[in-house]
Structure 1
Amino acid sequence: MLTGKQKRFLRAKAHHLNPIFQVGKVGVNENMIKQIKDALEARELLKVSVLQNCEDDRDTVAQQLSGGARAELVQVIGSTIVLYKESRENKQIELPR
């Protein structure tokens, strides 16, 4: 579980990132969750964009993605979701205490 200070730190880091995944009409599926897990292992922090034609609302999508990938939900702002998961082998981000 992330503290408020850690979430602020991660939001600042994620500000300059571009979304690398898009959730569209099909919604969240197992293949997408697997790809997000792999991307989180490589990057630790990423953004996901929820398109307008997505049938689920953004909060539901955020919960599905964070639960499926076992990642921390940092932020949902507009149609963008920010996820964080500490990498086992490729640790790049040092969180504040």
Structure 2
Amino acid sequence: PGSHRPDPAAPPFDFSDESRSVQLSGAAGDILVFDVDLLHAGSLNASGARRRSLLISYFSESLYPSHLETLGLRNIRMDTSERFDPLDKG
């Protein structure tokens, strides 16, 4: 809790400290929604199947080059090139 909104005066976040971690679980078909900045991880899917995920990001078009530069930091293996244009009526 709070990893996505750290107190500016707090010491640097210790990624190995799991003392405040909260374990969530769900049944097949459940959806878990996280803030993009919340530290989270997933365990092995008990069925052996791959987990599906949907990543939605919102940022100014002018920040897209910065987004591309930092893709490796997020370790996301999906196409992030599609963008929504609210003026596109097509």
Specify if TM > 0.5.
Answer: no
- TM-score, structure 2 length as denominator? 0.29
User: When you count strand as a share of all residues, which structure comes out higher?
Assistant: 1
Larger radius of gyration: 2
- TM-score, structure 1 length as denominator? 0.28
Question: Higher RCO, 1 or 2 (CA under 8 Å, sep at least 6)?
Answer: 1
User: When you count helix as a share of all residues, which structure comes out higher?
Assistant: 1
